Amino acid sequence: MPYNPRLVILGRDGILNVYREDHVKAPEEWQPVPGALEAVARLNHAGWHAVVATNQAGIGRGMIDMASLNAVHQRMMQRLAAAGGRIDAVFFCPHTPEDSCDCRKPRPGLMRQIGLRYGIELRNVPMVCDTLRDLRAAQAAGCEPHLVRSGRATGLDAEQLAAIVAQVPDTEVHADLGAFVDFLLQRAHAPDSGPIGLN
């Protein structure tokens, strides 16, 4: 029987760590969103695997090199481990928008890489985003789109939020990663997995 892990795809900046306009270029610049590390740990303890899919155009722009990116992700993994959680793998696009690659979100290439790596269909895989761009990537890949308001979506008013959801109609909206995990675990234990309201 094929192995079919319960998998969640997470964006990085604004979801796991505080978003920076100037990119996270060094380990000390990687600061977790409050409650995010504990949310990943709760996912893991409930039997879910988590992977990261992130655009890292700072590499293509020469703002950060691979050694520095690896150091940033090592810090992320260490902080997660201290909270009792883990990320199985980080998939990243190093290109700039001008490169017109298939792996830069909103295109679905990164998610397809993840599907191939795990040997699973993406249609039931939740993807946690903080921008319309990433929601479109989830939609293009066939993932289940979720928007958290802990990163670049923090300042959106109700009208702006509704406009985003209208463009990716199946989007579920959550306050942050912890609220998303609450939703996911509640749904997993619901007698029938009907739709659950915004949280």
Q: What is the pLDDT of residues 136-182, one digit of tens each?
A: 999 999 999 999 999 899 989 999 999 999 999 999 999 999 999 99
Query: Chain centroid to CA 168: how far?
Result: 16
Cα torsion 166, 171, 16, 47 to 10°: value is 180
Q: Is 118 part of a structural domain of the chain?
A: yes
Q: Amino acid identity, residue 26?
A: A
According to the model, what pLDDT value does residue 191 have?
65
Q: For 3-12, 65-74, 158-167, which range has the lowest pLDDT when averaged over its residues?
A: 3-12
Q: Is 199 part of a structural domain of the chain?
A: no
What integer is the mean pLDDT of 54-72?
A: 94
According to the model, what pLDDT value does residue 5 have?
75
Residue 130 structural domain: 7-188
DSSP three-state, residue 60? helix
Q: How many domains are there within the chain?
A: 1
According to the model, what pLDDT value does residue 197 have?
41
Q: What is the CATH number of the domain that holds 89?
A: 3.40.50.1000
Q: Is 85 part of a structural domain of the chain?
A: yes
Q: Is 42 part of a structural domain of the chain?
A: yes
How does DSSP classify residue 32?
Answer: B
Q: Is 196 part of a structural domain of the chain?
A: no
What integer is the mean pLDDT of 115-137?
A: 95
- Which structure tokens are listed for 134? 């990433």
Q: Is 193 part of a structural domain of the chain?
A: no
According to the model, what pLDDT value does residue 194 have?
46
Residue 199 pLDDT > 50, yes or no? no
Percent of residues, the chain, with pLDDT higher than 90: 87
- CB-based contact 93:55 (threshold 8 Å): yes
- CB-based contact 47:8 (threshold 8 Å): no
Residue 188 pLDDT > 90, yes or no? no
Residue 189 pLDDT > 90, yes or no? no
Residue scoring higher pLDDT (5 or 24):
24
Residue 3 pLDDT > 80, yes or no? no
- CB-based contact 47:31 (threshold 8 Å): no
Half-sphere exposure in the Cβ direction for 13 (13 Å, CA): 18
Kindly write down the DSSP assignment for every residue of 134-186, as one continuous string: HHHHHHHHT-EEEEESSSTTTT--HHHHHHHHHHSTT-EEESSHHHHHHHHHH
Q: Is 25 part of a structural domain of the chain?
A: yes
Please list, residue by residue across 55-66, b when 16 or more beta carbons sit within 10 angstroms of its beta carbon and e when fewer do: bbbbbbeeebee
Distance, in Å, from the CA atom of 56 to the CA atom of 107, rounded to the nearest integer, reads: 14
Distance, in Å, from the CA atom of 78 to the CA atom of 48, rounded to the nearest integer, reads: 19
Q: Is 195 part of a structural domain of the chain?
A: no
Average pLDDT for the chain: 92
Distance, in Å, from the CA atom of 33 to the CA atom of 31, rounded to the nearest integer, reads: 7
